[in-house]
Structure 1
């Protein structure tokens, strides 16, 4: 279905009873940050189709150079909201490595869609030995891997992936921070053995012969939460109607991305220099779930933006998983674990999301299901989690 026909037929109807005149946003012009990644697609779609206008909003998108820039501009108020790493929100909430601020997760923008890429020589060694630990030992030095933000999804997933294979990421790996769009250049310069970030930079590295994808994030944690729509919590309290209008806008964008043919169209937009600035075919391939001949323990799940609304609910238990990993790696103390459930309930704006989803006729899928991660351990978000016992069950962890 073309964009114009969706706007004409499947888009929101003009005879809705909840017109914007009944619920005018307190703030009409919003500056929303993003980093150049394929999973910024909901923001790009929302802007290209001006989906905010129906809800009384005008979005100004601001491309930021790094996740640190996203954090800093959220904290200073230069950004009202942002496409953000899930773990960035919780890192700021806990004050890990920087200022502490009360933060909010308004909705999940996508699930899955990240990867681990290594140099071709290391990929060959891994294929030959079938054992990551042995392949890394062949380097004859401590391996150097890059991630994008110390408390971010990529750092936690890479740590988890290494530990699942008997490698202590704190002792056996040298970890450095590089913005996603700079990963390929870092591989070309040398001295980097691998990296974990979002697409399309894995596809670009592989197309240029600089790296080879050896794992995707859904193989580490199937249907894991990834980027979120984030803000400071005072944005929600000061502008509740605006916050709901913003969630409604992004839900509309996510729903659009879930319709047949629309991801291919969005790939063309993302390829433009203002957004991601990478070749369209490389963006499209992995946006559509084409991983070539890569195989994994779990199904190689493509990035999910909507999935009937199931992708977007901000489950507090997802936030608790990040807290568990921060404690596992010695980034926070036991007090953060004790208060993790309460903190996650305050950060993740479930009532706001439910109200926005209901207004958009999007199912509110609040019942989370458990998943088995790459080490065979189950994270069961559907039941009460004894977080201390969960953390203590890891053989490799900070003591």
Structure 2
């Protein structure tokens, strides 16, 4: 499919195969293709709709795809060999911040009413803690879904639960469900709640089958959600093409964030080749259109796609994600956290692609005195993410 009307002459090159998951935050990849941003950079891109994050990971690892729309934590997990074969991956471009939420089904919400004095008790998880404490230990645990074990969704859900004393590994059951199947799983009672990106939280509210409790922004502040990820070998062997793709995505992200473009954006995304949804189902992920339903998103919680503070890959976030992996028993030790963060989150290539002078800011680096204890310091709560997100750093 192509909505481009004019013919654009491409530079001679093999097609670049980029995978995506049909979520709202695949928008920059779709727009870069449909509005000709890839073509204007001389790159012939073929987009491939994929069914799961595991498929994305494996196809990039085995060179079936050249790159992909990825969870921000995925290049780190692959590089460290967590949950998969060890394959060096990297990102030089952050596609989006924010967009996640935690939603529960009506049955659980109604039950929580008996354990709360206000809606704040339900949204904070305090009522859920009381409910769990009151249940028979032989009862089937409450079931929450996430999109992938090595994702912000998993870590944000676990963080939210743990803040009120709920043990995510003992008190509830956490399972993986593809985003597009979560709403049906909630309707059928297969799961009691989930942490997922939009539009699946707002759609649950609109369809009257669930209640959204909290956004990812309210848990972690503004943090990277999706990135453009590639294998490190591919990036090294195809640097001119790689840098051209970064430039095209930067232009596409700015186009996506422009409110005047959003009617056309929703029309393009709704096509069967992409999200295969109605325009009405897609309005929730974009701040220019006020969402319906009982839960109004804080403006800061919407997905953000453009600006150097959004698109620049942040090694500091790689440090934070590795600490979350350690906190939840996915990662033991790393020889050099600083080295891994710098090798995976390549802000040097971001600057090179855009023709900018590289900044000398290395304040993200952990000092030699702090680095050996960093993972444990985060796990124990001695180091926390700033309430406004990774752009503000950490609190000790």
TM-score class normalised by the smaller sequence: 0.7 to 0.9
Structure 1 position 84 matched with structure 2 position 50: no
Question: SS where residue 110 of structure 1 aligns?
Answer: strand
Name the CA distance, whole Å, in 1 between partners of 2:228 and 2:336.
23
Which residue matches 1:154? 153
TM superposition score normalised by structure 1: 0.82
Structure 1 position 344 matched with structure 2 position 338: no
Which residue matches 2:391? none
Question: SS where residue 145 of structure 1 aligns?
Answer: strand
**Deviation at residue 383 of structure 1 after TM alignment:** 7.2
Which residue matches 2:327? 328
CA contact 2:106–2:211 (8 Å) conserved in 1: yes
CA contact 2:70–2:229 (8 Å) conserved in 1: yes
**Deviation at residue 245 of structure 1 after TM alignment:** 0.4
Name the CA distance, whole Å, in 1 between partners of 2:361 and 2:197.
27
Structure 1 position 302 matched with structure 2 position 288: no
**Deviation at residue 65 of structure 1 after TM alignment:** 0.4
Cα deviations across residues 115-157 of structure 1 (Å, max 9, x unaligned)? 1111013234445611231244567641111111111121111
Please, what is the CA RMSD of the aligned residues? 2.8
Name the CA distance, whole Å, in 1 between partners of 2:360 and 2:248.
20
Shift in CA distance, 299/133, structure 1 to aligned 2, threshold 3 Å: farther
Question: SS where residue 354 of structure 2 aligns?
Answer: helix
TM superposition score normalised by structure 2: 0.83
Structure 1 position 101 matched with structure 2 position 101: no
Which residue matches 2:215? 216
Name the CA distance, whole Å, in 1 between partners of 2:219 and 2:355.
32
Which residue matches 1:371? none
Which runs of 5 or more structure 2 residues have no equivalent in the other structure? 383-396
Name the CA distance, whole Å, in 1 between partners of 2:336 and 2:278.
45
Cα deviations across residues 99-126 of structure 1 (Å, max 9, x unaligned)? 1100011210000011111101323444
Structure 1 position 134 matched with structure 2 position 130: yes
Which runs of 5 or more structure 1 residues have no equivalent in the other structure? 8-19, 369-379
CA contact 2:33–2:39 (8 Å) conserved in 1: no
Structure 1 position 44 matched with structure 2 position 40: no
* Number of equivalent positions: 358
Name the CA distance, whole Å, in 1 between partners of 2:354 and 2:73.
24
Which residue matches 1:175? 174
**Deviation at residue 331 of structure 1 after TM alignment:** 1.0
Name the CA distance, whole Å, in 1 between partners of 2:66 and 2:213.
37
Shift in CA distance, 293/203, structure 1 to aligned 2, threshold 3 Å: closer
Structure 1 position 391 matched with structure 2 position 378: yes
CA contact 2:314–2:347 (8 Å) conserved in 1: yes
